Amino acid sequence: MKDYIIRGIDKNGSIRFFVASTTNLVEEARKIHNTSPTATAALGRALTAAAIIGITLKNKQDTLTLKIKGDGPIGSIVSVANCEGEVKGYVDNPHADVPSRSDGKLDVGSLVGKNGQIALIRDYGLKEPFVGYSNLVTGEIAEDLVSYFYHSEQQPSAISLGVLVDKDISVRAAGGFMLQLLPDVSDEDIDRIEKILKDMKPISTLIDQGLTPEEILEEIFGEFEVEILSKTYVQYKCNCNLEKIEQVLISLGEEELTKIIEEDEKAEVVCHFCNTKYRFSKDDLLKLLK
């Protein structure tokens, strides 16, 4: 089944819902970066979150970047998305791992760490992007995003993100949901949501059981009579190319480029997001220098 996100609103127009299935997307990221099981879960959650928030952008050229930096061994987690469901990401230390929790679940919180920040950057092509920050709460990512939306954007939200890693370390199931309360939501609806969230199964379990985003929406929030407004397919896609990498080398400046030519006579640039290697001979570098 292809990965996709559905977006909907309840019959009263007071709650927005987003549900995503991202198993293939996260598995592609795992293959590219050769991540450890816990790093796969951390990166997968970040990619899923970026994909969900990314579809709220208005224009194709707009980008959303989610950056998470705690004091755990994984280092920084970066994921980038647009409104068309194209997502990419990486972590500083893809092979970092930690022991599982006492309940047997992957300990993403310890891998990420609690001391640090989460940043959401929306680039609309203007002089300066919109940047919001919030301190990490648990390192589990979903809880940190809920805290971010509440404190940085004054947007009450509920978010669940899950990645189920199989015994062969491949991604068995991945996905998530986000709901956001609009200003006219009733206290009664808030109480109903809190009860639902307390009793619901993990999102990765529902996806592993074969449920589609539409079925998950009905399973968890069916009592709200949600109207589905859109469906967006998502995929792991990096937009790097030779021309962009050449511009990166040119941006180093004449002095630095000359130094590379004299000392190394070649250069290799590796894309963080897709691990594609771009190799430049001495003649290639001389052309860029000119």
* pLDDT cut 70: percent of the chain above it: 100
**DSSP single-letter state for residue 201:** P
CA distance 112 to 142: 12
Predicted local distance difference test score (pLDDT) of residue 234: 98
4-236 under CATH 3.30.420.40, yes or no: no
Predicted local distance difference test score (pLDDT) of residue 190: 95
Tell me which residue of 23, 26, 21 sits closest to 4, measured CA to CA.
21
Predicted local distance difference test score (pLDDT) of residue 170: 97
Most confident of 214-218, 263-267, 268-272, 280-284: 214-218
* Strand-pair category, 235-236 with 86-91: parallel
pLDDT over 90 (residue 97): yes
Amino acid code (one letter) for 175: G
Amino acid code (one letter) for 281: S
* pLDDT cut 90: percent of the chain above it: 89
Predicted local distance difference test score (pLDDT) of residue 290: 82
Predicted local distance difference test score (pLDDT) of residue 32: 97
CA distance 216 to 233: 16
Predicted local distance difference test score (pLDDT) of residue 88: 98
Q: Which CATH superfamily is domain 242-289 in?
A: HSP33 redox switch-like (3.90.1280.10)
261 within 8 A of 286, measured Cβ to Cβ:
yes
In this structure, what token pair is assigned to residue 21?
Answer: 């299935």
Tell me the pLDDT band of 127, cut-offs 50, 70 and 90.
confident
pLDDT over 90 (residue 40): yes
Predicted local distance difference test score (pLDDT) of residue 272: 93
CA dihedral 7, 22, 201, 159 (to 10 degrees): -50
Predicted local distance difference test score (pLDDT) of residue 243: 92
For 21, 25, 172, 179, the CA distances from 53, given in Å and listed in that order, are 14, 15, 23, 11
Predicted local distance difference test score (pLDDT) of residue 169: 96
Tell me the pLDDT band of 104, cut-offs 50, 70 and 90.
confident
Sequence ranges of the domains in the chain: 4-236, 242-289
Helices vs. strands in the chain: H and E counts, helices first:
10, 13
Residue 171 burial class via C-beta count within 10 angstroms: exposed 0-12, middle 13-18, buried 19 and up: buried
